[in-house]
Chain A
Amino acid sequence: MRAKIEVFLKEGVLDPQGETIKRALYTLGYSSIKDVRQGKVFYIELKDKNPQGILEEIARKVLANPVIEDFRWEVER
């Protein structure tokens, strides 16, 4: 089974990398872009049939820092 976990900075936490990418895109002429947030994606292969509990736990304990980051996960197959 494969799962995808996405980790992003919380709304309201400044994302200097996203800001810089946004400015670069403006400079290239993509003037319709309103905001860019950069995050991380983890693809995790598991043996479990029902990995929901584990995914939640490893995202909270390891992959994300709950002080500054939110996460969401989904099972892909």
Chain B
Amino acid sequence: MGSRKVKFGIVVYPGTNCDMDTHYVIKEVAGEEAQYLWHEDLDLKGSQVVVLPGGFSYGDYLRSGAIARFSPIMKKIKKFAEKGGLIIGICNGFQILLESGLLPGAMLRNRGLRFICSFEELLVENDETPFTLLYTKGERLRMPIAHIDGNYFAEIDVLSELERERRIVFRYINNPNGSAHDLAGIISKKGNVFGLMPHPERASEALLGSADGLRVFLSAAKYVRES
């Protein structure tokens, strides 16, 4: 059934601001199905891929992503993750995945303390994940970042485990924020939860400077369709 559309659920928190861009790219550019999921919903409404988009959930109060992890929908998202469901956390979504323990580590304030909004070059480190199967290892990508807390931190043993298990998916060519091991995106142990600081939804049309991010969504859809 090659033509069946994959249903993406985009979680919206108070303060999320990349939800509409993400919805547009999934529906209009990738040609899949997209729906919003309100953070107080207790139902993923049949979503086959859950996306936690970027923004400033709860105003980044306390720590980025710290309050969002207690929202009602997170319980469902955790169950979905346990069952092997695909989850993509972009920027603030990545921070929420870290705070909720679905991915290891934490974000510190950027080295240099500045909010950085720029296009960055990324290296594809793993092309065998559900989110990168349409990329090629060693490929260089251009995607924008826009964050102040993107300086990834984890204990040394966690970092060596990430390296050993090839769970660093994208790496910065020129580390902009101090992130450990230059990492820009990682996956969970089972490989079904993906968090990244760059914004693939802002790099999905050549007209906007780069279409290198689109294959993240296309890969996830292809993976769901073929599994």
Task: Give chain A's interface residues, CB within 8 Å of chain B.
Answer: 9, 13-14, 16-17, 20, 62-63, 65, 67-68
Candidates A16, A62, A63; contact of B108 at CB < 8 Å: A16
Cβ–Cβ < 8 Å partners of A68 in chain B: 106, 108, 153
Map CB proximity to A onto B98-110 as digits: 1 under 8 Å, 0 otherwise. Answer: 1100001110111
Task: Give chain B's interface residues, CB within 8 Å of chain A.
Answer: 62-63, 66, 70, 98-99, 104-106, 108-113, 151, 153-155, 178
Q: Select from chain A the residue with minimum beta-carbon distance to B67.
A: A62
Candidates A9, A16, A63; contact of B110 at CB < 8 Å: A16
- State whether B108 touches A13 (Cβ < 8 A): yes
A68→B151 CA distance, assembly (Å) = 12
Main secondary structure on B side of the interface with A = loop
Cβ–Cβ < 8 Å partners of A67 in chain B: 98, 104-106, 153-155
Pairs of residues from A and B, 4 with the lowest C-beta to C-beta distance, nearest first: A67-B106, A68-B106, A16-B109, A65-B106
- State whether B66 touches A14 (Cβ < 8 A): no
Cβ–Cβ < 8 Å partners of B66 in chain A: 62, 65
Q: Select from chain A the residue with minimum beta-carbon distance to B106.
A: A67
Q: Which of A9, A14, A20, A65 has the most CB of B within 10 A?
A: A65
- State whether B106 touches A16 (Cβ < 8 A): no
Min C-beta distance of A22 to chain B, whole Å: 13
Cβ–Cβ < 8 Å partners of B70 in chain A: 62
Given A67-B105, A67-B154, 16 new contacts (CB under 8 A): A13-B153, A14-B178, A16-B109, A16-B110, A16-B111, A16-B112, A16-B151, A17-B109, A20-B113, A62-B62, A63-B62, A65-B66, A65-B99, A67-B104, A67-B106, A67-B155
Task: Report 27 cross-chain contacts, Cβ distance below 8 Å, ordered by A residue.
Answer: A13-B153, A14-B108, A14-B151, A14-B153, A14-B178, A16-B108, A16-B111, A16-B112, A16-B113, A16-B151, A16-B178, A17-B113, A20-B113, A62-B62, A62-B66, A62-B70, A63-B62, A65-B63, A65-B66, A65-B106, A67-B98, A67-B104, A67-B105, A67-B106, A67-B155, A68-B106, A68-B108
Min C-beta distance of B40 to chain A, whole Å: 19
A40→B63 CA distance, assembly (Å) = 11
Cβ–Cβ < 8 Å partners of B104 in chain A: 67
A63→B63 CA distance, assembly (Å) = 9
A14→B111 CA distance, assembly (Å) = 9
Cβ–Cβ < 8 Å partners of A20 in chain B: 113
Min C-beta distance of A9 to chain B, whole Å: 8
Cβ–Cβ < 8 Å partners of B109 in chain A: 16-17
A16→B116 CA distance, assembly (Å) = 15
A67→B107 CA distance, assembly (Å) = 9
A65→B105 CA distance, assembly (Å) = 10
Q: Select from chain B the residue with minimum beta-carbon distance to A66.
A: B106
A29→B152 CA distance, assembly (Å) = 33
Q: Select from chain A the residue with minimum beta-carbon distance to B153.
A: A68
